Structure 1
C-alpha cells in the first residue's frame, strides 16, 4: 500500500507524451439515488484510452472525471468489462484500484462474483456512475501475468488478471505464481492467499460462501471466501500425468475451461490436447459431488499445422465457459 500523489492536467499530459501509449483511468459504479458506490475493476472498470502512432487518426477517449493517479509504467492489459475486450495498459502491475466519490464514506454496492459479472458473461450492470471519483487504494501483484499463448491473437484469455468481487473481498488468480489472492475490499490489504500446483489462468467463480478456482494442475478447487480454506477439490481426470506445456509443468488435462456457476451447479472443463481426451464436469457447489460428466466430445480427422499431416483433432476448451437455463457453452 502507498500514498499516491495527486495528478494534475500538466503531469497527465507529460505522462501521455512520455509513454505514447494508452493512459488508464478507472471508475466505480455507484447508485446516486442511494449514495452507494461500487469498487471498479470488475464492477465497472472504465479505461481512459488515447491511441497514438498508427492509430492517431482514430484517437478515441473513454473519459470520466479526473482522479489522483500514480505514475504509470508500461505493461500488460487491464480488462474493460463493458467493452468485452482488453486494452494495452501503461501500468505494468496495476491490477486493482478502488475509487469512490469525494467527501463521502464509500458504501459498497453489489458483488461482481464472476468474470464479466454473470454466467452469461454479459459484462453488464444496472448501477450508475458517480460524478467524481478519487483513488482509495491500489494493489500491485509481485509478478505480471504469464500468458499460455503470448503470441496468439485468438487465445488471449489469460493476458491479464481478472478480479471478481464477493463477500467484501476482491479475488484474482495468477498465472505467474499459481496463487489466488483475496484483498479486503475497503482497505486493499491481503486477506488470504491460496496456492495451487499449477497456473491459475481464470477468475474465480463465487457462490454463497465459496470461490471456485480452476488450475493447470488439473483440479477445480472450492475455497472458503472467509479465509481461503480448501473445502473440496475435484480432479478433472483420474490420471495424474504431468507434462511440459506452455513453459510449465502442468497436468495433461489442464483445467482451462474457466469455471461458471449456474444455480447450485459449477461447471468447468479440462484437456487441451483433444487426442488425449477432453472432460466437462458439472458439480454440486456445496459438496463437490458429480452431477454429470462428459468424457467424450468426439474427434475429427483433419490436416494439422505446420506440415498438413492428417491426425485426430477436436475441441480444446481454452477460455471462459458460459451457461444459461438450457445450455453450457
Structure 2
C-alpha cells in the first residue's frame, strides 16, 4: 500500500510568481532566492491541503498553477487558489519505452517552467509537457550507439545504450542545457532537437549555470579523479576556458 502523505500548502513555503512567470533553473533564478516576484506574503495561515500519492519535492508556481513531482515520478499540476488537481502525468509510463537501454539509477528531478512548457528530467530522459494540459510535447534521451571489439566470427557489432542525465537541465533563450556522463549538450525547447554537443565534458551530480553569453558547468574524470570547471560559449558549446582541480 502506497504511503499517503498530506502535503501542506502554507503560503510562505511557495515562491509565487507573477504573470507568465518562468522558473528556468533550480530555485528560480541565479541568486537561488526561490522568489521571482519578490512578494512576501502577509501571514502563514493555511489556505488548503492537497493529498499527494507520496512524498513530493520542489513546488514551483506559474500563471496561477503549482507544479511539482513526487518520488514515484508523477508530475502534478494543481490550482493555486483552490488546491484542486488540474492534471497528473506518470513519467515512468513514458520512460518505460527507453528503460531497456538504460542502466542509470536515480530519481526524478524538480520541474522547470519556461513559457507554456514544463520540463522534467530523470536518469533516463528529459520530458517536455504542455503546462496547461499536461500533454507530452516531446521526450529525449542520451541515446548512444557504440561499436564493440571484433568477437570471433560475429565481427564488430553495435550496442545501443542510454547515458544517464547527471547535470540537471537549465533553460535560457529557448534552449535547454544539461549533461550526461558522456557529453554536455543543448536542445531546442520547442522540439527537443540537439543544437550542439561537447564530448570533452563528463558531468556528474549538480547543475550548470548561465551568465551573460556563457555556460559554466562541471566535469569529472573518474579514472584520474580530476575535476574540471568549464566555461562554454552558450551559442556553440565551444570551450572558452577550463580549470582542473585534483
**Range of TM-score over shorter length:** 0.5 to 0.7
Q: Deviation string for 1:1-49 (max 9, x for gaps)?
A: xxxxxxxxxxxxxxxxxxxxxxxxxxxxxxxxxxxxxxxxxxxxxxxxx
The answer to whether the 8 Å contact 2:119/2:128 transfers is yes
Equivalent position of 1:169 in the other structure: 65
Pair 318,143 (structure 1): closer, same or farther in 2 beyond 3 Å: same
Structure 1: 4+ residue segments shifted above 4 A: 92-96
Count of matched residue positions in the alignment of Structure 1 and Structure 2: 180
CA distance in 2: counterparts of 1:139 and 1:227, whole angstroms = 20
- Alignment of 1:213 onto 2:124: no
The answer (yes or no) to whether the contact 1:262–1:324 under 8 Å persists in 2 is no
1:137 aligns with 2:48: yes
Aligned equivalents of 1:170, 1:205: Cα separation in 2:
11
The 5 Å alignment of 1:8-157 reads 93=5, 95=7, 97-99=9-11, 109-110=17-18, 111=21, 113-114=23-24, 115-118=26-29, 120-123=30-33, 125=36, 127-144=38-55
Q: State the alpha-carbon separation in 2 of the partners of residues 96 and 171 from structure 1.
A: 14
Contiguous gaps of at least 5 residues in structure 2: 96-105, 147-160, 218-246
CA contact (8 A) 2:163 2:180 kept: yes
* Counterpart for residue 190 of structure 1: 85
- Long gaps (5+) in structure 1: 1-91, 101-107, 146-160, 241-250, 272-277, 298-314
Q: Distance in 2 between matches of 1:289 and 1:207?
A: 17
SS at match of 1:203: coil
CA gap 1:288/1:316 in 2 versus in 1, 3 angstroms: closer
Structure 1 residue 169 displacement after superposition: 1.5
**Secondary structure at 1:260 match in 2:** strand
Contact 2:17 / 2:36 at 8 angstroms: preserved in 1? no
Secondary structure of the equivalent of 1:328?
strand
